[in-house]
Amino acid sequence: MRGRVLVYALLLAGAGTCFAKDYSGWLKKVPQKDREQVNPYAGQAKAIAAGANLYHDNCAKCHGENAEGRDGRPSLRGEDVRKATDGELAWILKNGQMFKGMPSWGGLPEQERWQLVAYLRSLNLPEPAAPNPTGGQ
Residue closer to other proteins by CB (options 1, 99) is 99
Q: Which is closer to other proteins, CB of 71 or CB of 127?
A: 71
Residues counted in the chain:
137
Sign of CA dihedral 91, 96, 102, 106: positive
By the rule CB under 8 A, 87 interacts with other proteins: no
Binding flag, residue 90, other proteins (CB under 8 A): no
Binding status of residue 66 toward other proteins by CB under 8 A? no
Query: Least distance (Å) from other proteins to the CB of residue 12?
Result: 23
CB 104 → other proteins: shortest distance, Å?
5
x/- letters, 19..58, toward other proteins (CB under 8 A): --------------------------xxx-xxx-xx-xxx
What is the residue-wise DSSP string for the chain?
-HHHHHHHHHHHHHHHHHHS--GGGGGGGS-HHHHT---TTTT-HHHHHHHHHHHHHHTHHHH-TTSS-BTTBPPSSSHHHHHS-HHHHHHHHHH-BGGGTB---TTS-HHHHHHHHHHHHHHTPPPPPPPPTT---
Binding footprint of other proteins, residue count (CB under 8 A): 35
Can you give the binding site for other proteins, defined by CB under 8 A?
45-47, 49-51, 53-54, 56-58, 61-62, 71-72, 94-112, 115
